[in-house]
Amino acid sequence: MTGTPDPAPRPVRWAGEGLWITFEGGDGVGKSTQVALLDEWLRERGRTVVHTREPGGTPVGTLIREIVLHHRGHIAPRAEALLYAADRAHHVAELVVPSLERGEVVLQDRYLDSSVAYQGAGRVLDADEVRGISMWAAGGLLPNLTILLDLDPSVARQRLDGDDKPFDRLESEQEEFHVRVREAFLELAAAEPDRFFVLDAALPADVIAQRIRARVEGELGSRS
């Protein structure tokens, strides 16, 4: 088998109506809390917010999420990468782009950076190939802003251990896997400093929320 789907589209930052913000980071870094806090803050300011996630932001995506996160047996790495990409293709086409075109703010828990970091970190797949597949799936579209919550995986693991939820397939991976995921996210952020806003997720949640609001206020100001 050879390389990525051809032609892989060139990356394009969303430049139309609305505002598209994705949240990234390892498991247990506190993403869900921060997405919910930003959602509330934006709604209080009269914005129409679409709070969504990958995998699973659409009815089709919910079915795919069940397979990729809860299937008990082995899934071949290429099949796993394609399942995330299929979820993404449908999500971007059916929910994200239409919402943005209506001028809404899309807050999205995970996007293609998660595929590069997680599927690439398995070491079986080449990160550029994984990215190419996702770029093809998403028509090359990148968000206006990506908020990366960065945390030492051993601290994140302690937070997850405190939850009652059973671990999904990815959360059950060994510590070295999560260390590679963290490094991959930081490399992605360093490569695209304009798009990424990196925050230390060990800070108190209200401090992180405040910094995110300040950054988002700037983004909203620059487009009104």
Give me the residues that bind ligand TYD (CB under 6 A), please: 27, 53-55, 69, 84, 109-110, 114-115, 118-119, 168, 170-171
Smallest separation, CB 208 to ligand TYD (Å): 16
Cα gap 65→70, rounded to integer Å: 8
Is the CB of 118 or the CB of 136 nearer to ligand TYD? 118
Cα gap 207→204, rounded to integer Å: 5
Is the CB of 17 or the CB of 192 nearer to ligand TYD? 192
Is the CB of 118 or the CB of 197 nearer to ligand TYD? 118
Smallest separation, CB 57 to ligand TYD (Å): 10
Is the CB of 168 or the CB of 183 nearer to ligand TYD? 168
Smallest separation, CB 189 to ligand TYD (Å): 16
Pull the structure tokens for residue 83: 């399942």
Q: What does the DSSP assignment read for 108-157?
A: EE--HHHHHHHHHHTSSS-HHHHHHHHHHHTTTEE-SEEEEEE--HHHHH
Cis preceding-peptide flag for 77 (omega within 30 of 0): no
Cα gap 28→159, rounded to integer Å: 6
Smallest separation, CB 55 to ligand TYD (Å): 5
Closest listed residue to residue 7, CA positions, set 135, 97, 154, 159: 135
Smallest separation, CB 59 to ligand TYD (Å): 16
Is the CB of 18 or the CB of 178 nearer to ligand TYD? 178
Residue 82 in 3-state DSSP?
helix
